[in-house]
Structure 1
Amino acid sequence: MGTTLALGAVAAVGITAARPGEHRAASVAGAAATTWPLVQGSPGKDTGTSLSGLAAAPDGTMWAAGGQQASGVYKPILQRLTGDTWSNVALPAAAAPYRFNAAAATSASNLWLAAQLNSSGDSHAVLRWNGTAWSTFKVPLSFQPSDIATTGPASAWVVSSSAAKRWNGTSWADTPIGIKPRAITAVSPTSAWAVGWAGEGLPATAHWNGTSWTTVPFPPVDGVVRGEIASALSDVYAASENDVWAVGTVRVPDEAGKTVSRSMLAHWNGTKWTSVLGAAGTYMTKVASDGAGGIWVSAGDTMRHRTAAGVWSDASLAQPVGTKVRSSEMAIRPGSTTVWAVGWTTTDATRWADLAHWRSN
């Protein structure tokens, strides 16, 4: 498996440090699970809404972004957190053809949105709010914005499934990236990380140094199954230049030779990436700060917490009766230890979506 990562009581959440050539399941035992309450949503109302993006600015401003489908008509949704209440934000007419996939912000006057075309038109787009007015930057249909990051009004990145663009304060420019990115995070204008996959479906990472992207070696996964379904990293969070976390899922054979999915947790210490795999059937989709030196990771309706000391515990998202729940993004509210998750609930009867917000405490 390459170099393994010392993560403390990893067995508590189904993660086990794997030795080279070894694939074994971990026991699942540990701290009793807690529940994140559903703070705001409309479960069972069949509103056709969902949230996919969440941005937290250092000044405490938070935004949630997504879209709505009703009677065959799509429209974007943007919300802003005031106190503990999420309220809808008016959008310009230029936003109407799009659905927001991701959001990033550094202040109440620097918000960026990755926008996917949901109606007839000739382009996807990136939208920006500068505190006074909206700007819309169109990008080709061949470039579908999937994630976005920013460190200020003159510094932003957006990625699609195979490419990356950078905003220099004046215009967007293509920046060859060397991997197929799924997520991006930025530490400063001269340091950003993208994660995803490359080659024949292998997890991969790339680093921006202020001038160009460089593919950074990632520990090989012994026995990884290569094919149409990629083993990939799906999210990345940078606490600092030398403290970066990434999560994802890999496909490997189990003891009987059957292909199974296993979650992957990886860490960059400033010199190299190290990683561990979870038990068969586990997966991880998102990672975020806990505000106290640790991290939260998500896997659908399950939240897993690792303290700065490496101790793991589980939490679940409140699930209204008759529904299923799904988180799509999470972020720490700056200046606190409260983590917000956004996503949607679906009713068992209709399977129609309703946007949802959960909070850790």
Structure 2
Amino acid sequence: MSGTLGALSGIALGPAAARAAASTPRTQGWQAVPAPGSTPAAQLRRIAAAGPALAWAVGEEGLGTSSPARALAMVWNGSAWSKTDLSPLAYPGRLTDVAGVCADAAWSVGSPTGGASPLLRWDGTTWREAAFPGRGEPDVRLSAVAVGADRRVWVTGTRDGSNRLLHRDGRQWQWLDPLPAPGVNLYRVVLRTPDEVWVCGDQAAGGGWTGFVARWNGSWTVLPPLTGLRQTIADVHAVAADDVWAVGNEFGVGGPPGRPGNPILRHWDGTAWNQVDAGFPLGSLSSIAGDAQGRPAWISAWNHQDQTRSTYLRHDAGTWTVVRGPAGPAPAPYVNDLARIPGTSGYWSSGMTRAVPYPPTEAYTERFDA
């Protein structure tokens, strides 16, 4: 399922793979930015920016050791990343998502620990637990969060056995209607407009799972499933109801032990999902971000065949082009997420210094400056 990380090897490459490996992608504009202070192994799963002088990144640290992993959070002050003190929180587990538009409108969610999922709010200095309907109930799980420019908050979660959206209108929280689809895991919630929300993940099907995308605009619309088996859609970007991009990975049927998946890049044209070439055959696509006009701009990726630098896809004149990150302190960087920096033409990405979550892997970020 989604979130499984690891170095994968021992693959026999066919002619298509050889052609992809022989190509020379561009290197363009990305630079490594130190994210010090985490305890190996550590990774940053999600990143969000309010502007050039404020950003947040969350994940986990202390992986692969005898002690349980701990939540990790960092904040950018315009010149450096610093680790946020989470010791006042009773919550020890990993943080799975973060979103924010200003210093007093930033939120994070985490994986369940002790039978409950935390919802955190940034108070300008650190993260504090926030109350919400269902907090502490054993069947309530929160998975992803988005915040609009109007400061309204949208959270994906489960309650009473159903996937739902938890919405905050600025004054109070409300659980919305159940998602009319069984067996779904949701990993992202994305805003297109203040009242149009997209979610994605995977859905149990035929002994495996298939990619899942749906829209909420007062009621649910579930898009047709993507063709394939053992798929996960990691992120979605909607330009319009008939112009939607989905990224993720697919493992298909069988294969040798340790086989990496194939990247998924699909486009919904209002009628069908169309497959688009990702530029390499083995690996995954983890996140997609738009530009200031809402057009698709960047995708973060992991190319199994060349792990010496981070991998991105850039959208230019209707075509996706492979772009490589910087050569630097990360020996084999793995990027989990990326986000646009409002007020600029720049982007952040976050992940870890190697593709395996074991020491000495550390938290890692890169920034794109046009």
Same fold at TM > 0.5: yes
Which of 342, 364, 368 in structure 2 is aligned with 1:356?
364
Distance 2:261 2:91 in 1: 38
The counterpart of 1:191, out of the listed 165, 190, 196, is 196
Give, in whole Å, the separation in 2 of the partners of 1:181 and 1:62: 24
* 2:61 corresponding residue in structure 1: 68
Q: 1:287 to 1:139 in 2, by over 3 A?
A: farther
Q: Which residue of 2 aligns with 1:110?
A: 105
Query: Within 5 A, what are the aligned runs for 1:149-188?
Result: 149-151=146-148, 152-159=150-157, 163-169=163-169, 170-173=172-175, 175-177=177-179, 178=181, 179-188=184-193
Cα separation, 2, equivalents of 1:303 and 1:317: 11
Q: What SS does the corresponding residue of 1:94 show, helix, strand or coil?
A: coil
Residue by residue over 1:178-197, the C-alpha shift from the partner in whole angstroms, topping out at 9 and shown as x without a partner, is 24322221123421111122
For 1:214-225, list aligned pairs within 5 A: 214-218=221-225, 220-221=226-227, 224-225=228-229
Secondary structure at the counterpart of residue 123 of structure 1: coil
- Cα distance in 2 between the residues matched to 1:165 and 1:41: 32
* Mapped pair 1:83 → 2:78: yes
Name the CA shift for 1:308/1:162 in 2 (closer, same or farther; >3 Å). farther
After TM superposition, give the deviation of residue 156 of structure 1 in Å: 1.4
Cα offset, 1:334, TM superposition: 1.1
Q: How far apart, in 1, do the equivalents of 2:350 and 2:167 lie?
A: 27
Residues 211-360 of structure 1: pairs in structure 2 closer than 5 A: 212-218=219-225, 220-221=226-227, 224-225=228-229, 230-239=230-239, 243-252=243-252, 261-269=261-269, 273-278=273-278, 280-290=281-291, 293-300=295-302, 301-310=310-319, 312-320=321-329, 323-346=331-354, 351-360=359-368
Letter in 2 for 1:284: L
Q: Secondary structure at the match of 1:207?
A: strand
Aligned residues of 2:59 and 2:72 also touching (Cα < 8 A): yes
Residue 328 to residue 95, structure 1, CA distance change in 2 (3 Å): farther
Asked if the contact 2:311/2:322 (under 8 Å) is kept, the reply is: no
Q: CA deviation at 1:265?
A: 1.3
Quickly say closer, same or farther: Cα 1:80–1:214, change in 2 above 3 A: same
**C-alpha root-mean-square deviation of aligned residues, in Å?**
3.6
1:22-76 Cα shifts (integer Å, max 9, x gaps): xx94843364334732211359x96433211211236863211123227625433
Asked if the contact 1:36/1:360 (under 8 Å) is kept, the reply is yes
State the Cα distance separating 1:110 from its structure 2 match. Answer: 0.9
Which secondary structure state, in structure 1, belongs to the residue aligned with residue 325 of structure 2?
strand
Task: Give, in angstroms, the shift of residue 213 of structure 1.
Answer: 2.1
Quote the offset at 1:307 in angstroms: 1.6
- Give the Å deviation of 1:134: 3.4
Aligned to 2:32, which of 34, 38, 46?
38
Please report how far the alpha carbon of residue 122 of structure 1 lies from its aligned counterpart in structure 2 after TM superposition.
Answer: 3.0
Cα-to-partner distance string for 1:166-188 (whole Å, 9 max, x where unaligned): 12342342642224322221123
Structure 2 alignment gaps of length 5 or more: 1-14, 303-309
Q: Matches of 1:313 and 1:236 in 2, distance apart?
A: 19
Distance 1:41 1:249 in 2: 27
Give the secondary structure class of the aligned counterpart of 2:342: coil
Local SS of the residue matching 1:106: strand
In structure 1, the residue corresponding to 2:89 is in which secondary structure? helix
Give the AA of the match of 2:144.
D
Mean Cα deviation higher: 301-310 or 332-341 = 301-310
Question: How many residue pairs were aligned?
Answer: 322
Conservation of the 8 A alpha-carbon contact between 2:201 and 2:233: yes
CA contact (8 A) 1:114 1:148 kept: yes
1:204 paired to 2:212: yes
Residues 1:238 and 1:141: Cα distance change in structure 2 (over 3 Å): farther
CA contact (8 A) 2:25 2:324 kept: no
- Per the alignment, in what secondary structure is the counterpart of residue 353 of structure 2? strand
TM-fit CA distance, 1:162:
7.2
Give the structure with the larger strand fraction: 1
Deviation at 1:131, TM superposition (A): 4.8
Shift of 1:269: 4.9
Give yes or no for contact 2:42–2:61 (8 Å, CA) kept in 1. yes
| Secondary structure, counterpart of 1:353 in structure 2 | coil
Question: CA separation in 2, counterparts of 1:282 and 1:185?
Answer: 24
Contact 2:36 2:83 in 1 (8 A): no
Q: 1:197 corresponds to which letter in structure 2?
A: D
| Cα offset, 1:78, TM superposition | 2.3
Instruction: Look up the equivalent residue of 2:146 and give its one-letter code.
Output: A
Residue pair 2:288, 2:296 contacting (<8 A) in 1 also: no
Q: 1:122 to 1:241 in 2, by over 3 A?
A: same
Q: Is the 8 A contact 2:267 2:276 kept in 1?
A: no
Q: Name the SS of the counterpart of 1:98 in structure 2.
A: coil
